[in-house]
Structure 1
Amino acid sequence: MTPRTRRLRDVLSAALTAAACLLLPFGVLAAWAVHGIADTGRYVTTMAPLASDPAVRGLVADTVGAGIVHRLADDRDLPPSAAPFVHSAVRSFTTTEAFRAVWDAGNRASHEAVLKALREPRDGPVTVDLAPITERVRHELADENVPLAGSIPVRHTRVAVLEPEELRGLRDGLRTLEVAGVWLPVSAGVLAVAGIAVAVRRRRAVTATALGTAVGGAVLGVALLVGRAALLADLPPGVSRPAAAAVYDALTAPLRHVAWALVALGLLVAATTWLTRRRATARQASPRTAPAALPSPDPAVDPTEPSQAQA
């Protein structure tokens, strides 16, 4: 192999490895968006632990309590002293198992409505009917002997989740993610294998690919931290920062685990490859001791004849 060919192969291997490591974080993000966020079952499972988060429970209690007080005030003359009692009752309800079931039902209903709107071409906002959830809340509060629970009106109130202008952009984004979530990880893997196969020194190429994988995982972890800080900094007034942080952390928990796994796997493979390379180099550099040669018999002497000393 000529020096020019070796140089060209090294340059091509480095380019393929760099491209694979650059695609890796984007591929992980796309796969997470498609298989984690865009899947209703996984989304509900991811959001389920938030029903036990104090910040989320407080936000839900304040929102639901205000809605119940408003509806009761519209239907009857509600004394001012009843509002704190209703808020306290709802806040107590958020600590029960029934609230966790209502929380899962609400997340499932809203997620299914958004996915249906994104995958079916239609105009108009995405709405969710809160009547089934309100009915369940009223039933659970009545079982807990909460006063005025039976008077909570159950109306088919549709709450807008997404507006039409937001829906169009998200529909295009979902289609792009569904393609990228499959092809970006596959492309990263193919480029990495090709970079190792083209390399002249393949053990060194494996080490570079492993280190690039670790760097990609670290970049993904840093991006999650930056995104969290940016999200909390741009929250509109009145939105609970602890609740928003809890939701963000719950949604991105799989990404954080993958980022740490990439860092650990990359460093482990790089260290293993480096150690095997050092061992192979030391083995080649060590002097080989050849076995001692036996003295060859003198061809001029016939071993069958007696020696002069014997004579």
Structure 2
Amino acid sequence: MARRVVAVVLVVLTAVLACAAVPALYLRSEVLDTDRYVATVAPLASDPAIQAEIANKVTTQITDAADIEGITRAAMVELGTVAPRAAAVITGLAPAIAEQTKSLIHTAVSKFVASPQFQDLWIQVNRVAHQGLVNLATGNTGGTVSIDQSGTVTISTKEIIARVKTLLVEQGVGIASRIPEVDAQITLLQSPELARAAAAISTLDRTAPILAWMTVLSALGAIAVAPRGWRRRTTSRVGLGIAVAMALLALGLAIGLDIFLGTIPSASVSPAAAQTLVDTLLTPLRSGIRFVFVVALLMALAAFLSGHSRPAEYVRQGLARTGDYLTGKVGGGQAKPWQHWLARFRRILEAAIVGVAVLVLILWQYPTAAVAIWTAVLAGLAILLIELLCRPAVAAGHAAEPVTGGTPAEPNPTRPLP
């Protein structure tokens, strides 16, 4: 009884640890793997919401730095001194001309952020700016991307403004030559919750490997401490527990994301841009949750089907009868020598297939739920093929088994077939 209680406690502990290990491993891989981070944020360069956000803010920074309105007003006043009678009319045109100039600059900026050159620049900037995500996890400051105490994440637009200035000058916009060198910042995210979470993020980053190993050891401990006859059941419960934990984690992530986006002031970042940025950054985490969920369900299903419960026995009997039917249709008569050999070593071959499938999932750098499903499907088909090919030899071996008591034994419908 005590071993069963301990096994149940370890199953629950495994599920809790998995809830912490998956986000921690996501954070660690995204923070420390620059190539992975750049691959994640690269599509944002072609996202309309991000392009519009950058175009609007860069245009504002350029017009403010160059003082377009002041330059236009001064030019109109000077022109008015040349033609005093039209001075009032000319001066009144200053706001309209300033707005037209701003519109021209905005058009140039929008054209640039939609060009392949901006996509290349975006990748370069984010590769350098990757240190900002490290700052977020470690609490350090500085870098091209940084976070302050109010939870504001900013990115430098110096290179973007310089490229736009060159583009405007080449188009003959003389006023663009007056744009000074600007090392401005634009806000990507702004939320107090981000600053409050810095300590928790730093802790998860440091403890990610520990949490992962603790999850594995807790799962193995639950299976090992379970009484004989309960280990398959415990294995199935471990898988179900982790799957439930991943479902709850996905639900909590969705709720938390809504709350987090609600804390971002729309005046600093447009809701569409914030939604796009956060969704993109969380894509690997969602993929990781789905992957663990699928693997856990497959683990629970495999343990269940290999157990001694009546539903599992019925499934195995159905597969055995299907195998007998198929092998009888394909070819009857005596089992061939290679089928006897296959029947003799089928358990070793099936264990090797399972081992290869596990190695694929372990060695795959960033496996997804689709990878897990296809790996399980291919492994299952390979095992099923072995069982079908060696079925005549297995059936012949059972028919040749000696029967005690001198009379044939009645078939037991509940006895699991091999």
Question: Which bin holds the TM-score, normalised by the shorter protein?
Answer: 0.7 to 0.9
The 8 Å contact of residues 24 and 208 in structure 2, kept in 1 or not, is answered as yes
- Give the counterpart of 1:210 among 239, 254, 264: 239
Q: Are positions 1:43 and 2:37 aligned together?
A: yes
Matches within 5 A, 1:191-202: 191-200=218-227, 201-202=230-231
Corresponding position of 2:120: 101
Query: Which letter maps to 1:290?
Result: V
Tell me the CA shift for residue 50 of structure 1: 0.9
Which whole-Å deviations, capped at 9, do the CAs of 1:148-172 have from their partners, x for residues lacking one? 5852634252649899x99997775
Query: Which letter maps to 1:73?
Result: D
Q: Are positions 1:229 and 2:248 aligned together?
A: no
Corresponding position of 1:151: 177
Q: Which protein has greater RCO, CA pairs closer than 8 Å, 6+ apart?
A: 1
Tell me the CA shift for residue 84 of structure 1: 1.3
Change (3 A) 1:55 1:121: closer
- Give the counterpart of 2:406 among 278, 293, 303: 293
- Give the counterpart of 1:90 among 96, 103, 109: 109
Q: Are positions 1:112 and 2:131 aligned together?
A: yes
Report SS of the residue matched to 2:238.
Answer: helix
Change (3 A) 1:117 1:195: closer
Q: Are positions 1:252 and 2:282 aligned together?
A: yes
Q: Are positions 1:26 and 2:20 aligned together?
A: yes
Q: C-alpha separation between the residues in 1 aligned to 2:302 and 2:194?
A: 49
Report SS of the residue matched to 2:264.
Answer: coil
Moved more, 7-16 or 122-131: 122-131
Corresponding position of 1:268: 298
Which whole-Å deviations, capped at 9, do the CAs of 1:80-113 have from their partners, x for residues lacking one? 2211121122112221111112222333344325
Q: C-alpha separation between the residues in 1 aligned to 2:20 and 2:175?
A: 49
The 8 Å contact of residues 240 and 300 in structure 2, kept in 1 or not, is answered as yes
Change (3 A) 1:146 1:188: farther
Q: C-alpha separation between the residues in 2 aligned to 1:220 and 1:172?
A: 20
Corresponding position of 2:206: 179
Q: C-alpha separation between the residues in 2 aligned to 1:232 and 1:167?
A: 11
The 8 Å contact of residues 221 and 259 in structure 1, kept in 2 or not, is answered as yes
The 8 Å contact of residues 89 and 146 in structure 1, kept in 2 or not, is answered as no
Change (3 A) 1:276 1:122: closer
Tell me the CA shift for residue 131 of structure 1: 3.4
CA RMSD of aligned residues (A): 3.7
Aligned length: 283
Moved more, 209-218 or 224-233: 224-233
The 8 Å contact of residues 68 and 152 in structure 1, kept in 2 or not, is answered as no
Corresponding position of 1:12: 6
Q: Are positions 1:56 and 2:50 aligned together?
A: yes
Tell me the CA shift for residue 197 of structure 1: 0.8
Corresponding position of 1:300: none
Moved more, 175-184 or 101-110: 101-110
Q: C-alpha separation between the residues in 2 aligned to 1:121 and 1:54?
A: 32
Question: TM-score scaled to structure 1, two decimals?
Answer: 0.76
Q: C-alpha separation between the residues in 1 aligned to 2:21 and 2:296?
A: 16
Report SS of the residue matched to 2:67.
Answer: helix
Q: C-alpha separation between the residues in 2 aligned to 1:19 and 1:194?
A: 11
Change (3 A) 1:139 1:149: farther
Tell me the CA shift for residue 224 of structure 1: 1.7
Q: C-alpha separation between the residues in 2 aligned to 1:217 and 1:125?
A: 30
Tell me the CA shift for residue 128 of structure 1: 6.7
- Structure 1: gaps of 5 or more residues: 1-6, 295-311
Change (3 A) 1:268 1:88: same
Percent identity, aligned pairs only, is 28
Moved more, 80-89 or 246-255: 80-89
Change (3 A) 1:170 1:233: closer
Moved more, 25-34 or 71-80: 71-80
Question: TM-score scaled to structure 2, two decimals?
Answer: 0.58
